[in-house]
Amino acid sequence: MKFPVQFTTRLEPKEAFHFFFYGTLFRTVFFVPFLLIVGFALAFYTVYTAGIRDPFVYLSFWIFFTPLLSLGILFNVWRMSSKAKNKKGEPLFYQPIRVMLYANRLRISYPGKNPYNLPFDRITRSLETKKYFIFFVAKNVLFIRKQDVPNQETNEFLRKTLKPRKLYFGY
């Protein structure tokens, strides 16, 4: 592969939900287990304070509270994406991003901003979905649409180098 490989990617307003969804739920590996633990703790507290000692009731309440918490989180993700769509002016994640791919780093530049060199070892997590490569760097999220990547060889290089975890649901 001949470096640098240059391409431009951009998230559309209709993709805001995906941005907030993946950015919230998959930022760390601890989020989903934490959600399960909080659901269990809430169920345990509710049932125990009611004086019920039946384990089936504990399990039933856990099964009830965990999706309820998940719905609350999904509502918040939907609210944030709706707010971003209706925002006057264009949020930074809708701006076109020019990406230059090198053997050991990405060079990212937004319009009106200084270019930023991102070494691959600074990427804390990487995910791959049907439509996106998602890279987490500290508290930031970088989305690259697969349709914007110039060729299959570049896709394979990103997969081999960054070893993204494959998500088998969603977009």
pLDDT in tens, 123-150: 999 999 999 999 999 888 888 999 999 9
- pLDDT higher than 70, residue 3: yes
The reported pLDDT for the residue numbered 167 is: 84
Q: Which run of H or E residues covers position 117?
A: strand 116-119
The reported pLDDT for the residue numbered 68 is: 94
Contact 118, 109 (CB under 8 A): no
CA quadruple 36, 38, 41, 43: dihedral sign: negative
Tell me which residue of 115, 80, 110, 117 sits closest to 95, measured CA to CA: 110
Cα torsion 27, 30, 36, 37 to 10°: value is -140
Contact 73, 35 (CB under 8 A): yes
Give the contacts of 9 (CB within 8 A, at least 6 positions apart). 96, 97, 99, 143, 144, 145, 148, 149
Tell me which residue of 107, 28, 111, 39 sits closest to 70, measured CA to CA: 39
Q: Tell the burial category of 90 from Cβ atoms under 10 Å away from its Cβ (0-12, 13-18, 19+).
A: exposed
- pLDDT digits over 55-101, tens only? 999 999 999 999 999 999 999 999 988 888 777 665 666 788 899 99
Q: Which run of H or E residues covers position 152?
A: helix 152-162
Strand 125-128 with 165-166, pairing: parallel
The reported pLDDT for the residue numbered 90 is: 59
The reported pLDDT for the residue numbered 61 is: 94
pLDDT above 70 coverage of the chain, percent: 95
Q: What is the largest CA-CA distance in the chain?
A: 68
Given strand 105-109, what is the order of strands in its sheet?
A: 5-9, 97-101, 105-109, 116-119
Average pLDDT of the chain to the nearest whole number: 88
Lowest mean per-residue pLDDT among 42-46, 90-94, 140-144, 151-155: 90-94
Predicted model pTM? 0.79
The reported pLDDT for the residue numbered 158 is: 92
